[in-house]
Chain A
Amino acid sequence: MRWIWIDRFVEFTPGRRAVAVKNVSLAEDHLHDHWGPFPIMPCSLMIEGMAQTAGVLVGQARDFKEKVILAKVSLAEFNDIVVPGDQITYRAEIDNITPEAAVTTGTMLRNGKPLGHVNLIFSHIDQNLAGAKFPKDNFVFTSQFERLVAPFLEGGDG
């Protein structure tokens, strides 16, 4: 199993903005534990969904050469709950990107209506100030993530 919390991108403008959707299904195991009689999508997994949407956007901006790691959740606000049958839309924009890090702002929709905001900071960990070394291979962006975004980079329709 791979920890992927977005189903597909519906918009991808390299270096600027990405929009992804996630359809929430009662077939997903985690909903049965959260919480049995009243299944709702955990907020932590929606933060992860935004991190993946924004993380791929940030990674692609450097041609997937940097290891992009979520370093800080600057803001996470939810105004509603999400239940099976709902569709979540993650809209992420790059606010600032430097050799060491990137800042993204994000809004979320539930079935097209405002759901909340998640702002994140990612680190390009090979450029860290402490000079720590990491494995050479890019363990962050697997082919699964690259496949999700490939249609937009090849001029496809997504």
Chain B
Amino acid sequence: MTETEVFAKVKETLVEALGLDDEEVTPEATLTGDLGAESIDFLDIVFRLEKAFNIKIPRGELFPDNIVNNPEFVQDGKLTETGLVELTNRMPHADLKEFEQDPDINKLAELFKVQTIVNYVSNKISG
């Protein structure tokens, strides 16, 4: 499956899960900020992706949890160096370049873009 095909299917999934119009789903759109996803929607998206692509997505793999509530990873509202390493290891599908300049945990949600999902699924199905 090409990346374009993965994107088309991810787009369809997000349109259904979040009640969006097709044109709202662009690669750079953020799930919470631009597309209005709430916490339960992340689970919904995971379930739908599993079905659409016939894959298994373990908890915390696509959208990592237990990072911001771990004191080893967060100090003064920013990810520590250890936290950044952890995030990099757990989110090889995200582009962290911009976030690394100012690892404010309030900006963590901006890492969850449509392209992040496309990268994750592409890696997953290519094995």
- Residues of chain A touching chain B, judged by Cβ–Cβ distance below 8 Å, are 71-72, 74, 95-96, 98-101, 103, 121, 123, 129-131
Min CB gap A110→B, angstroms = 26
B44, CB-defined interface residue at 8 Å: yes
A121 to B41, CA, bound (A): 9
The answer to whether B39 and A101 have CB atoms under 8 Å apart is no
B contact residues, total (Cβ < 8 Å): 12
Which B residues are CB-close (under 8 A) to A101? 40, 43, 47
A130 to B65, CA, bound (A): 8
Which A residues are CB-close (under 8 A) to B2? none
Which A residues are CB-close (under 8 A) to B40? 71-72, 101, 121, 123
CB closest chain-A residue, reference B19: A74
Determine chain B's interface SS by DSSP, over half rule.
helix
A-B contacts at CB below 8 angstroms, number: 30
B59, CB-defined interface residue at 8 Å: yes
B101, CB-defined interface residue at 8 Å: no
Which A residues are CB-close (under 8 A) to B43? 71, 100-101, 121, 123
B89, CB-defined interface residue at 8 Å: no
- Residues of chain B touching chain A, judged by Cβ–Cβ distance below 8 Å, are 17, 39-41, 43-44, 47, 50-51, 59, 65, 69
CB closest chain-A residue, reference B44: A121
Which A residues are CB-close (under 8 A) to B50? 96
Min CB gap A109→B, angstroms = 24
A95 to B50, CA, bound (A): 12
Can you give 15 contacting A-B residue pairs, CB < 8 Å?
A: A71-B43, A72-B40, A72-B44, A74-B44, A96-B47, A99-B59, A100-B43, A101-B43, A101-B47, A121-B40, A121-B47, A123-B40, A123-B43, A129-B39, A131-B69
